Amino acid sequence: MIIDNEKQQIRDLFANDQKYVQNEKKLQNDFVVQMQVAKYDSKNRDDPLLIHAGLTEQKQSVFIIQGKLQTDNNVKSITYYMISQLQNQKNQEFFIIYINTELKTYLNLSKFYSIFKEFPCVYFENLQKIFILHGNIFIKSWFWFQSSVQIKILKSKTIYLEKVVQLLNYQFFKKQQFEKMPAYCKDSSYQQLQQAFIGNQQQDICFQQCQNQLYDLELDQYEFTNKGIPIILDLCITKLLQDPQNIQQEGIFRLCSAQTQDKQFENYLIQKQYSEILDFENVIVIANFIKRVLDKLKYSVVPYQYYNQIYSMKQYSIEEAQVLIKQFPNLNRNLFTLIILMLQNVAQYSQINKMGPSNLAIVFGISLCRPQQYDQANVQEQYLKIKIVNQFIQFIIENASQIFPNQKISDFLLETGVEQNDYQQEEIQQQ
């Protein structure tokens, strides 16, 4: 973990670099929407350049970059995806493992490093180390000819590994990261690395199979309440809104939660231990689960055929929004309405939680309304479409009371007494 003194030294280096100071504001402003493009792009990569390999015991992110798969078209988009993951939590520290296996020149690595020139100072502060696996003399010599402050800092944080087993020398590298390593990086030391993590894999396999009950489903594959809402989401939103303090936490829906608690919460849902959900205390875990289900729905909550219609709107009106939403299938309309009414409640406390309609739209826009296929050949056009969709969702949140004049969020949620008891009784019968 980088100590504060080292971070301060990095800040001082940037503060004394005139070129960076001149561009700093632009760099910060460009990040917000560009990360939305990268976020959606990540859902359409079957064999990604970048692998998010989980968190260390100190809650630091680990990313694996597959240099072999790198192209001019994907390196920038996927690097922004990496940063979008770090944006979920303030001061998120991270490691990078760059797989240089089978690459003889420095061209791919130099393009990847050059992308960092567009990153604000805070990401250089939070970068722990970059490990280059199977580097060669050409890779190492590239730094000799670079003079920018960003590259100088990256050089100081770079470690070269000749053998994959050398990753065991670093405490951050655990079984979770080992399981994400691509097969083509194997060398003569790989068997030794593998032996360090031999154990009973059955428990992990079972958990992955159970997770299929929660994610990557069509909307009508979920179990529903009598109000037409997936039970798992209704329970979570009911819990979230039970106490106003739950939605007053600063950065709600943006903060990261610990994977161990995420798994515990998912297990309660898988096993239908609904009383545990209603008693669960960590609202960040609950908020992230709601977001994760929406992100991983097989099809968008807003049906695909309306995506371009929203993009083509010249201006928004209450009546036009009502006509559009009325066309959604019942299940989609019910869920969309509930999510918007929930976000309206959250936005009422924006002075405390810093999550007004604009920020909530950035977080939820692409979760609620995404295209059927991402146009990777035209990132700029996709960037513009996502920005416009976010503006539409912001309009819906800001005007929810007029768009849904006859509907209250209590119309969708479980009543605090009778219905919650019904689901708790169902839990007992399941046991």
Q: Say which DSSP state 111 is in.
A: H
Strand partners, 177: none
Tell me the C-alpha distance between 236 and 291, whole Å. 11
Q: Residue 338 has which token pair?
A: 């509930």
List all residues 6 or more positions away from 293 whose beta carbon is below 8 Å from its beta carbon.
214, 215, 230, 232, 233
- Assess contact for 138 and 159: CB atoms under 8 A: no
Q: Residue 51 has which token pair?
A: 């692998």
Q: Residue 388 has which token pair?
A: 């416009």
Angle at 403 between CA 398 and CA 404, to 5 degrees: 110
- Assess contact for 239 and 277: CB atoms under 8 A: yes
- Assess contact for 347 and 357: CB atoms under 8 A: yes
Tell me the C-alpha distance between 426 and 422, whole Å. 6
Give me the pLDDT at residue 80, please: 67
pTM: 0.57
Q: How far is residue 300 CA from its own chain's centroid? A: 17
Angle at 263 between CA 256 and CA 90, to 5 degrees: 10
Tell me the C-alpha distance between 294 and 361, whole Å. 14
Quickly list H helices, 280-417.
Answer: 283-295, 307-312, 318-326, 330-347, 350-353, 357-368, 379-398, 400-403
Give the phi and the psi of residue 52 in degrees, each rounded to 5: -85, 110
- Distant-in-sequence contacts of 69-73, Cβ < 8 A, 24+ apart: 70/108, 70/111, 70/112, 72/111, 73/376, 73/377
Burial tier of 223 (Cβ tally within 10 Å: 0-12, 13-18, 19+):
exposed
Neighbouring CB atoms inside 10 A of 42's CB total 20
Give me the pLDDT at residue 167, please: 92
Three-state DSSP at 218 gives: coil
Give me the pLDDT at residue 90, please: 60
Give me the pLDDT at residue 207, please: 44
Tell me the C-alpha distance between 214 and 222, whole Å. 8
Three-state DSSP at 236 gives: helix
- Assess contact for 239 and 286: CB atoms under 8 A: yes
Q: Residue 87 has which token pair?
A: 């944006």
Give me the pLDDT at residue 236, please: 94
Q: Which residues of 359-372 are buried (b: 16+ CB within 10 A; e: fewer)?
A: bbbbbbbbbbbbbe
pLDDT along the chain (431 residues), means of 10: 73 82 69 59 56 86 85 69 67 89 82 78 89 85 79 89 90 88 86 74 48 80 88 93 92 84 87 85 93 91 91 88 94 95 96 94 91 72 85 96 92 61 47 47
Tell me the C-alpha distance between 92 and 174, whole Å. 19
Angle at 247 between CA 395 and CA 419, to 5 degrees: 100
